[in-house]
Structure 1
Amino acid sequence: MKSQKEIIMRKMRKRILSVLLTAVAATTLLAGCGGKDEGKKAAGEDITVVSREDGSGTRGAFIELFGIEEKDSDGNKIDNTTTEAMITNSTSVMMTTIAENEAAIGYISLGSLNDTVKALKIDGAEPSTENVKNKTYKIVRPFNIVTNEKKLSNQAKDFMKFIMSKEGQEVVADNGYITVDDKASAYKAAGAKGKIVVAGSSSVTPVMEKLKEAYTALNKDVKIEVQQSDSTTGVTSTVDGVCDIGMASRELADSEVKKGVKPTVIAQDGIAVIVNKKNEVSELKSDQIKGIFTGEVISWGDVK
Structure 2
Amino acid sequence: MTGSTGCSKQAADTKQKVEGLDKLGQIGVISREEGSGTRGTFAQLAGFVQENTDKDQTVKDAKIADDTASVLNMVGSDRSAIGYGSAGIMVSDSQVKVLSVGGVEPGKNNAGYPLSRSFYLVWSGKLNDVEDDFMRYIRGAGQEIVSQSYTAVGKQSSFLSLKPKGKITVTGSTSVGPLLECLAEEYMKLNPKAVITVKQTDSSDGIRQTMQGKCDLGMSSRDLKDNEKEILDYESIARDEIAVIVNKENPLEDISLEQLEKIYTGKIKEWQKLYD
With structure 1 as the length reference, what TM-score do the two structures score? 0.80
Q: 2:214 aligns with which of 224, 242, 259?
A: 242
Match of 1:10 in 2: none
Note closer, same or farther for the CA distance 1:209–1:43 as it changes in structure 2 (3 Å cut). farther
Match of 1:173 in 2: 147
Give 1:43 shift.
6.1
| Alignment RMSD (CA, Å) | 1.5
Match of 1:52 in 2: 32
Contact 2:210 2:218 in 1 (8 A): yes
Q: What is the 5 A alignment of 1:100-119? A: 100-114=77-91, 115=93, 116-119=95-98
Q: 2:238 aligns with which of 267, 280, 283?
A: 267
Contact 2:163 2:194 in 1 (8 A): no
Match of 1:39 in 2: none
Q: 2:112 aligns with which of 136, 145, 153?
A: 136
Match of 2:186 in 1: 214
Give 1:177 shift.
0.4
Number of matched pairs: 252
Instruction: State the one-letter code of the partner of 1:113.
Output: M
Note closer, same or farther for the CA distance 1:282–1:76 as it changes in structure 2 (3 Å cut). same
Q: Distance between the aligned counterparts of 1:58 and 1:197, measured in 2? A: 22
Q: Distance between the aligned counterparts of 1:274 and 1:43, measured in 2? A: 18
Indicate yes or no: 2:221 matched with 1:229. Answer: no
Indicate yes or no: 2:104 matched with 1:125. Answer: yes
Give every structure 1 segment of 4 or more consecutive aligned residues whose post-TM-superposition deviation is greater than 6 Å.
none
Indicate yes or no: 2:212 matched with 1:280. Answer: no
Q: Distance between the aligned counterparts of 1:200 and 1:77, measured in 2? A: 19
Instruction: State the one-letter code of the partner of 2:28.
Output: T
Contact 1:153 1:244 in 2 (8 A): no
Q: Distance between the aligned counterparts of 2:85 and 2:182, measured in 1? A: 19
Q: What is the 5 A alignment of 1:153-168? A: 153-165=128-140, 167-168=141-142
Contact 1:209 1:226 in 2 (8 A): yes
With structure 2 as the length reference, what TM-score do the two structures score? 0.88
Q: Distance between the aligned counterparts of 1:243 and 1:278, measured in 2? A: 43
Q: Distance between the aligned counterparts of 1:97 and 1:203, measured in 2? A: 17
Give 1:154 shift.
1.5
Q: Distance between the aligned counterparts of 1:236 and 1:194, measured in 2? A: 23
- Residue deviations 1:219-266 (CA, integer Å, cap 9, x gap): 1111110000000000011111111110000100012122x2111000
Give 1:181 shift.
1.1
* % identical aligned pairs: 39
Q: Distance between the aligned counterparts of 1:77 and 1:237, measured in 2? A: 19
Q: Distance between the aligned counterparts of 1:290 and 1:197, measured in 2? A: 37
Contact 1:197 1:224 in 2 (8 A): yes
| 134-143 or 44-53, which deviates more | 134-143
Match of 1:198 in 2: 170
Q: Distance between the aligned counterparts of 1:263 and 1:101, measured in 2? A: 39
Q: Distance between the aligned counterparts of 2:181 and 2:43, measured in 1? A: 27
Match of 1:149 in 2: 125
Q: What SS does the aligned partner of 1:111 have? A: coil
Q: What SS does the aligned partner of 2:259 have? A: helix
Instruction: State the one-letter code of the partner of 2:146.
Output: V
- Residue deviations 1:170-191 (CA, integer Å, cap 9, x gap): 01001x1001112x54211101
